[in-house]
Amino acid sequence: MEKEIAIYIDGIYYPKSNAKISVYDHGLLYGDGVFEGIRAYEGIVFKLREHIERLYLSAHAIMLKIPLSKEEMLKAVIETLRKNKLTNAYIRLVVTRGVGDLGLDPRKCPKASVIIIADSINLHSSSAKEKGISTMISWVRRNTVDSTTHEIKSLNYLNSILAKIEATATGVDEAISLDKIGCVVEGVGENLFIVKDGKLFTPPSSSGALSGITAKVATRIARSRGLEVFETRITPFQLFTADEAFFTGTAMEMVPIREVNSRQIADGKPGPITKKLMAAFQKVIVDPNEGVPIYS
């Protein structure tokens, strides 16, 4: 029988079948918490310090005190991978407000809870990177920056889930969210880029988009190759008429977009700039200087 993965919950490892939290945990009751998705490639945890930094920024924004220091959190992630003998994995790092009562008041939760899961993830078919994916613009608008903004990577992802449900019902691979004035923000869990006249454009975090770690790497790679990258509002028209378009994200990595609302992007195939950036990204993710080694 295959051994169950060991899941970290507040300093103790539990087999997957017995990894449980209280029904009074405010992460479950109210979506009150924060999380990060992280990748390990060939024994390197890609951008681990950056992910942990973003986790603590999200926690600060919702006044959630994490019971571990950043260095302790880093060591806990590494130890979870070692415990499961994993060198390639998707890591889900979750911090909930912790156990409280049935009221909203977070003061009733004396201590936050930390959960670390190291497993695998597969969002789309194996051909997605070669052929691109189909998308549609959702009716579900992104939450504004003065509400439950996606700048905070919180456990409240209903905004994205509703858009994903719509995409599935429509028969496309992924949804794209707009802001309150109708400009493009991001996918349900990915940042978005378009290419026009040899230049890259991506919506700013001020639109309500998450400040993506993979997006930053893609931007750095593009600029190192002499490409100009601009953070600016993107209209649906600009998306429909782009020369190329692609998503970036930890779970998805980099995936071309071939279609939006039944409108083909250019010739409907991954474009030359997208393909070059994807190839360069695959080299970066296994660079020891880009992450933290599991075994050193």
pLDDT tens digits along 97-146? 999 999 999 999 999 999 999 998 877 767 899 999 999 999 999 999 99
φ, ψ of residue 23 in degrees (nearest 5):
-70, -10
Would you call 246 exposed, middle or buried from its count of C-beta atoms within 10 A (0-12, 13-18, 19+)?
A: buried
Distance of CA 87 to the CA centre of its chain: 20
Q: Which two tokens stand for residue 76?
A: 């806990």
Kindly provide the b/e burial profile for residues 154-170, where b requires at least 16 CB atoms within 10 angstroms of the residue's own CB. bbbbebbebbbebbeee
Predicted local confidence at residue 81, as pLDDT: 98
**pLDDT above 90 (res 267):** yes
DSSP state for residue 234 in the 8-state scheme: B
Task: Please give the mean pLDDT across all residues of the chain.
Answer: 96
pLDDT band per the 50, 70, 90 thresholds, residue 1: low
Domain annotation for the chain: domains and CATH numbers:
6-119 (3.30.470.10), 128-284 (3.20.10.10)
Q: Which parts of the chain are beta strand (E)? A: 6-9, 12-15, 33-41, 44-46, 89-96, 113-119, 133-137, 174-178, 184-187, 191-196, 199-202, 229-231, 244-249, 253-260, 263-264, 291-293
**153 tagged catalytic:** yes
**pLDDT above 60 (res 45):** yes
Contacts of 103 (CB under 8 A, 6+ apart): none
C-alpha dihedral (177, 178, 183, 185), degrees to nearest 10? -50
Q: Which two tokens stand for residue 98?
A: 């912790």
pLDDT tens digits along 48-100? 999 999 999 999 999 999 999 999 999 999 999 999 999 999 999 999 999 99
**pLDDT above 80 (res 11):** yes
Size of the chain, expressed as the number of residues it contains: 296
Marked catalytic residue, from 47, 129, 153, 164: 153
Nearest to 290 by CA among 214, 211, 212, 229: 214
Predicted local confidence at residue 2, as pLDDT: 66
Q: In this structure, are residues 193 and 248 in contact, taking their beta carbons and an 8 Å threshold?
A: yes
Across residues 227-249, what is the average pLDDT?
Answer: 98
Predicted local confidence at residue 127, as pLDDT: 87
Predicted local confidence at residue 37, as pLDDT: 97
Nearest to 253 by CA among 224, 230, 284: 284
Residue 225: count of CB within 10 angstroms of its CB: 11
Distance of CA 14 to the CA centre of its chain: 25
Residues 81, 84, 85, CA angle at the centre, nearest 5°? 80
pLDDT band per the 50, 70, 90 thresholds, residue 293: very high
> By three-state DSSP, how is residue 220 classified?
helix
pLDDT tens digits along 185-231? 999 999 999 999 999 999 998 898 999 999 999 999 999 999 999 99
Predicted local confidence at residue 26, as pLDDT: 98
Q: Which two tokens stand for residue 26?
A: 């405010």
Predicted local confidence at residue 61, as pLDDT: 97
